[in-house]
Chain A
Amino acid sequence: MKYLSEKIMKKITWLTSICTVLIFNQLIGQQNVLIEAESFIDKGGWVVDQQFVEQMGSSYIMAHGMGVPVSNASTQITFNNKGNYHVWARTKNWVPGNWDAPGQFKILINGKPLKHNLGLTPEWGWEYAGKVKIKSSHVDIQLADLTGFNGRCDAIYFSKSKTPPTNSKSELATWRKTKLGEATSPETQKTYDLVITGGGLAGCAAAIASAEQGLKVALIHDRPVLGGNASEEIRVHTLGIYGKYERILKMIDTKHYPNGSSEAKYDQEKRDRNVKSFKNIDLFLNWRAYDAVSENNTIQYVDARHTSTGERIRFTAPRFVDSTGDGWIGFWAGAEFSYGRESADTYGEAWEEWGELWSPEEADNFVMGSSVLWQNEKTEDVHEFPQLPWAIDVAKEHKAIAGEWYWEFTRNDLHQIHDAEDIRDHMLRAIFGSFANAKKLEENKNYKLQWVSYLVGKRESRRLIGDHVYTFNDVKNHTKFEDAVVEEIREVDVHYQKHLKDEAIPDFLSKAIYYQTEKYYVPYRSLYSKNINNLFMAGRNFSCSHIGLGGPRVMLTTGQMGAAVGLAAVICKKYDINPRAVYTKHLQEYLDLIEKQK
């Protein structure tokens, strides 16, 4: 077993704080200091949010208190150079408008608050917190949440100059690297037989399947727990069938609890325990990949960064699996991909009964949306919940005390990857606003919010293109591909926003269109990249059309994909071949290996 345990993590955190101090010592001459908020030693009640690094530049910490201010985050820094410093925080007002900003906080230096509240400016940028006189070398820094409603802080900057740091997105990354003294390449390099990025059901299954056959595997996942949408952090139960991988998938699946149920934690414990039990899986929890570089259409390495400490590792391997959901590895490496809804004619996927809601005459970007689940608790006591002017625009008159899968948001000016933070925040406004509305009713006085996810549960984003693009026709025709490695009987369901038909309905509620079907199959050729020679994909970013995704997007099916590519990687290693050659040269041996998994 080789994963980064709590103990090791603490050690890394301690080492990082030492490193940080070293950096400060070096930077004192420059009379400024940058502290990444996510590297705070004690996060208090703040949570690390790594979901939007590609858009806003970094992991950050967020005061997700569901209306109750969270406990302070704190860290200790050694200043060698005493004197007056100006202090800025990189933050944002996540609901700009003519009301008090919902997520406000203050910075405390040695227990004393700086002058200005923070979280007031639209868009990510540096806000001036105030001036402080550093009198001793040991400085305690705290973030004090004032509102309980998702204040967020990316970084804190101390400078003897009154010039604020850059807000230019293009300059910021370089500025940050310079301030942190970061080298171009990661300090550490690790080599594996297979590097899997994304620890959802697909990634976990790929890791188990390949590790069981003796491969040395790295599983990189950007959250503290495994499972992605099935994790206790998002809480969608696994649907679909096990296909030929029941034994493997039962190590990581969930019971059929209601979406959003706290029962998710039991399956979480099972999943994490099982994956960690494999000696040849190196599990990198809280590591987020940020680059993949290919030469001659072959990925050379994947670079990842720890979501709190900022430490970096370069992962090299002959083959890689992209199970990130958003197809990031393929995207960085130059893999062909698609996004959006194809025109009905592209693959002949029209369904007259549902017309534009199913497959449009002209292609567009109106993909299925993301969900943020939430749950209440009914107690003996009366609980107050504030009225929230900043949430009413979204929630309107809608009243609710819990969410479900159909709390889903997509809109044609929003991209499920690039605008994911806005989508998540829109859902938070929908949730808090609808709950505030429901709390006006006497019958709900004993309810309080028990849990609101802050992670975006995505259904659809980039789809990497393989040798075969899986479509609705493959479902309708029940095509029994010679390389069928995934099978499913679940109906195809594709969602649409209810307010497309009735504008009186809030924009965050969806409806499903179901296509009932007999068994259908996904071919292996949809699970490796068409143009990147050593890239597998598994999960919602597999090679399919928008409608093709409608059936096999659920997690036991994506888990099957993971197990299938994990086993394909075994054949690849045995013959030192790329994924395509498993199909062209060793298909029978591969299928035989799959049969043995039952």
Chain B
Amino acid sequence: MAMGFQEQKKPDYRPMFFSMADEWKDIESDESIFEFSVKSSDTSLTTEIEHQVRLLSNSLGEPRLFFSEIETSVCADGECKLANIKVYWNLLGNYVGYGTYDKYPLTKFEHDPFEKADYQKLHKLLLDDNSVLKRRKMSDLIDKIPVSLSNINSKDLDGISGATKKEIKESVVKGGLYSCYTIWHLVHGDAKKKIRKNLETIGADDLKEYFLYSLYKDYQIYGLKQLSQADFRVHSKQIVSIFKSTNALTRTYILKKLPTDLYSEKEITNQLYTMFPGVDLNSKTLLINKLEFAAPDAIEILAGFLDNMTKNQLKHYLKYLEENTLRITNTMKRNLRKVSKDKNYAHSYLIDAFLKTNK
């Protein structure tokens, strides 16, 4: 049942940690969207606890965050204590932050309160959607975590998963394994799946551009994946802008998906190939592999960045030159000669050999 914001007291949305900008500040509408249930970790209870997930929208009525105030039991050695946190997900269901209540600090083993650094570590753990905790049962973890990192060396790793133990030890709050485990699974469990499913109902179509033009990497690739071939042209400026600032995953996606007619436009080609030195190696490979689809300038632009290429990339580029000798300009020749003598570039010998056979 949806509950309008006006009908309840405005909650305190202030998060303790928040990985987006300040979306939580401008919240005008708060409506319950769905509930998700989590089995209580208190083995004395058989009930499932229901948690409400709310959609927070801004003053323009635009959906911005999903939010839940969660009270859950964290149990250790048969003794349980409640943990209270406010969780924030973005519109794709990815965790973006959490907050606590002054009255209810999170606790560790023997109910010591979390220290400041512990809260920070929890946030870092929750940001990892592929945490080592993901596919583990709590029962797998008990008594299997080494007491301290210094115990982890080649001689006393006992088998099952030395690497995993180390990873768990490094990612959870010391003494707070139960809290971390419980909260991670709450944040990355059913709620996340339901948010994703709900995306259509909150108007994903209207949000397409919001995603594409946002500063967040997960939004950007989601936005890119919604584009038709024609959309690429409409949004080409933003796509080039994303290309410049994003990670290798999204960059390689853009290079694979850019329609050929757009890719071959002089302006797009120039912008993409000028960024060559600053992009990751996998994107560099694609830029070289796609030379035949780029505007003619690309070949000359790359001649200025020879010393940024891996061995195979350079081989591929030189092979392209060999097949297109007529396109080798004097400027390019000068660059080739210069880099062929560059002792700091490991593969200069390949250029030297190229120049000898292509005089």
- Given A255-B159, A355-B225, A361-B257: A376 and B154 within 8 A (CB)? yes
- Tell me if B310 and A500 are in contact (CB < 8 A): no
- Tell me if A419 and B248 are in contact (CB < 8 A): no
Q: Mark A385-421, 1 if CB is under 8 A from B, else 0.
A: 0000000000000000110111000011110000100
- Tell me if B247 and A503 are in contact (CB < 8 A): yes
Residues of A near B344 (CB, < 8 A) are: 97-98
Residues of B near A499 (CB, < 8 A) are: 248, 280
Tell me, yes or no, whether B313 is within 8 Å of chain A by CB.
Answer: yes
Bound-complex Cα distance A267 to B134 (A): 32
- Tell me if A261 and B157 are in contact (CB < 8 A): yes
CB distance from B76 to the nearest CB of A (A): 25
- Tell me if B285 and A377 are in contact (CB < 8 A): no
CB distance from B105 to the nearest CB of A (A): 31
Bound-complex Cα distance A516 to B343 (A): 51
- Tell me if B157 and A364 are in contact (CB < 8 A): no
**Nearest neighbor of B314 in chain A, beta-carbon distance:** A413
Tell me, yes or no, whether B312 is within 8 Å of chain A by CB.
Answer: yes
Within 8 A of B (CB), among A507-535: 507, 511, 513-514, 516
Bound-complex Cα distance A321 to B135 (A): 36
- Tell me if B256 and A362 are in contact (CB < 8 A): yes
Bound-complex Cα distance A461 to B228 (A): 33
CB distance from A494 to the nearest CB of B (A): 12
- Given A261-B157, A362-B256, A411-B282: A96 and B163 within 8 A (CB)? no
Within 8 A of A (CB), among B217-261: 221, 225, 247-249, 252-253, 256-257
Interface size class of B (residues with CB under 8 A): 35 or more
CB distance from A311 to the nearest CB of B (A): 34
Within 8 A of B (CB), among A95-129: 95-98, 121-123
Tell me, yes or no, whether B330 is within 8 Å of chain A by CB.
Answer: no
Q: Contacting B256 at CB < 8 Å: which of A360, A401, A413, A450?
A: A360
Interface size class of A (residues with CB under 8 A): 35 or more
Tell me, yes or no, whether A214 is within 8 Å of chain B by CB.
Answer: no
Q: Contacting A500 at CB < 8 Å: which of B134, B249, B285?
A: B249
Q: Contacting A122 at CB < 8 Å: which of B155, B225, B282, B346?
A: B346
Residues of A near B221 (CB, < 8 A) are: 355-356
Q: Secondary structure at chain A's binding surface: helix, strand, loop or mixed?
A: loop
Q: Contacting A366 at CB < 8 Å: which of B134, B154, B282?
A: B282
Tell me, yes or no, whether B130 is within 8 Å of chain A by CB.
Answer: yes
**Nearest neighbor of A375 in chain B, beta-carbon distance:** B154
Tell me, yes or no, whether B272 is within 8 Å of chain A by CB.
Answer: no
Bound-complex Cα distance A556 to B225 (A): 38
Tell me, yes or no, whether A256 is within 8 Å of chain B by CB.
Answer: yes
Residues of A near B153 (CB, < 8 A) are: 376, 378, 401-402
**Nearest neighbor of A343 in chain B, beta-carbon distance:** B256
**Nearest neighbor of B155 in chain A, beta-carbon distance:** A378
Tell me, yes or no, whether A257 is within 8 Å of chain B by CB.
Answer: yes
Within 8 A of B (CB), among A347-370: 352, 355-357, 360-362, 364, 366
Residue from A96, A375, A516 with most neighbouring chain B CB atoms (10 Å): A96
Tell me, yes or no, whether A422 is within 8 Å of chain B by CB.
Answer: yes
Residues of B near A366 (CB, < 8 A) are: 282
**Nearest neighbor of B311 in chain A, beta-carbon distance:** A422
- Given A98-B344, A355-B225: A411 and B256 within 8 A (CB)? no
- Tell me if A414 and B312 are in contact (CB < 8 A): yes
Bound-complex Cα distance A352 to B193 (A): 11
- Tell me if B312 and A419 are in contact (CB < 8 A): yes
Tell me, yes or no, whether B162 is within 8 Å of chain A by CB.
Answer: yes
Tell me, yes or no, whether A259 is within 8 Å of chain B by CB.
Answer: yes
Tell me, yes or no, whether A501 is within 8 Å of chain B by CB.
Answer: yes
- Tell me if B154 and A364 are in contact (CB < 8 A): no
Tell me, yes or no, whether A258 is within 8 Å of chain B by CB.
Answer: yes
Bound-complex Cα distance A436 to B280 (A): 25
- Tell me if B159 and A257 are in contact (CB < 8 A): yes
Tell me, yes or no, whether B337 is within 8 Å of chain A by CB.
Answer: no
CB distance from A169 to the nearest CB of B (A): 13
- Tell me if A256 and B160 are in contact (CB < 8 A): yes
Tell me, yes or no, whether B349 is within 8 Å of chain A by CB.
Answer: yes
Residues of A near B154 (CB, < 8 A) are: 258, 260-261, 375-378, 402, 450
- Given A357-B249, A419-B312, A499-B280: A122 and B257 within 8 A (CB)? no
Tell me, yes or no, whether B316 is within 8 Å of chain A by CB.
Answer: yes
Bound-complex Cα distance A352 to B285 (A): 26
Residue from A405, A413, A499 with most neighbouring chain B CB atoms (10 Å): A413
- Tell me if A511 and B312 are in contact (CB < 8 A): no
Tell me, yes or no, whether B145 is within 8 Å of chain A by CB.
Answer: no
Residues of B near A355 (CB, < 8 A) are: 221, 225
- Tell me if A404 and B247 are in contact (CB < 8 A): no
Tell me, yes or no, whether A491 is within 8 Å of chain B by CB.
Answer: yes
Tell me, yes or no, whether B332 is within 8 Å of chain A by CB.
Answer: no
- Tell me if B247 and A501 are in contact (CB < 8 A): yes
- Given A122-B347, A258-B162, A378-B153: A503 and B312 within 8 A (CB)? no
**Nearest neighbor of B280 in chain A, beta-carbon distance:** A503
Residues of A near B256 (CB, < 8 A) are: 360-362, 364
- Tell me if B281 and A411 are in contact (CB < 8 A): yes
**Nearest neighbor of B286 in chain A, beta-carbon distance:** A412
Residues of B near A413 (CB, < 8 A) are: 281-282, 285, 310, 312-313, 316
Q: Mark B141-168, 1 if CB is under 8 A from A, else 0.
A: 0000000000001110101101100000
Bound-complex Cα distance A378 to B150 (A): 12
Residues of A near B343 (CB, < 8 A) are: 98
**Nearest neighbor of B129 in chain A, beta-carbon distance:** A353
- Given A355-B221, A376-B154: A404 and B282 within 8 A (CB)? no
Bound-complex Cα distance A412 to B316 (A): 13
Given contacts A258-B162, A413-B316, A419-B312, 15 further A-B contacts (CB under 8 A): A97-B346, A123-B349, A256-B159, A260-B154, A352-B196, A356-B249, A356-B252, A356-B253, A360-B256, A361-B253, A378-B155, A402-B153, A412-B282, A501-B247, A503-B280
Q: Give me 26 A-to-B residue pairs in the complex whose CB atoms sit less than 8 angstroms apart, sorted by A's number.
A: A97-B346, A98-B343, A255-B159, A258-B159, A258-B162, A261-B154, A352-B196, A355-B221, A356-B221, A361-B257, A362-B256, A366-B282, A378-B153, A378-B154, A405-B163, A411-B282, A411-B310, A413-B282, A413-B316, A414-B312, A419-B312, A500-B247, A500-B248, A500-B280, A503-B248, A503-B280
Across chains A and B, which 3 residue pairs bring their CB atoms closest together, nearest first?
A404-B163, A413-B312, A413-B285
